[in-house]
Structure 1
Amino acid sequence: MDIELIRNIFISKKEKVGALQIKMIMENDYSSIMNHKKIRRLMAKYNLLAKIRRANRKLKQAVCHEFHPSAILHSDQGFHFTHLLFQRKVKELGITKSMSRKGNLVN
């Protein structure tokens, strides 16, 4: 029963929602309370993968593998830049990373 509701929400949102968004929709629209960790486990078990941008793909698109030896990647503390896969890839490529402090927006 739980997975049916999760699957219905997931499909109705065009497969672009994750566990936390499904949790909020369940609480607000269906008056059903479920732990986000349980939702995440059920989504993984039934192969419901959200179509989100992955940090690794974004880095591949943005980079051409030819860097100045002292290249620095400066970013904010957004999800893509703090994601473990993104940070590993930056380290593999030998790029120095620089990150703004929280609440210190450049733009």
Structure 2
Amino acid sequence: MEEYNFKREVIDSSEPVLVDFWAEWCGPCRHMNPVLAAIARDYKVCKVNVDTNQPLAAKFHVSAIPTLLIFKNGSVAKRYEGVTSEQALRADLLALA
């Protein structure tokens, strides 16, 4: 996702959005892919490559990857750093829905 899409897809979304800040070379990021794919069947998930979107990553103070942010009503409602369980992500998305 590019920065110009971020406002429309995430900030302006009426539903909670899980945003994955990741990089191709990141092993833990690759480990999260099946979890995120499963969650994407039920919730909106957007991916931001930190190598190609450094200003966006800096805006949200991403200093480690994967960083997972759940946005609700245009603001960060929950933040995770590192590998995170599908159960934890789903619980927070359900609570924010």
TM-score of the two chains, using structure 1 as the length reference: 0.26
By relative contact order (CA 8 Å, sep 6+), the higher-ranking structure is 2
Q: Point out the structure with the larger helix share.
A: 1
Pick the structure with greater CA Rg. 1
Q: Point out the structure with the larger strand share.
A: 2
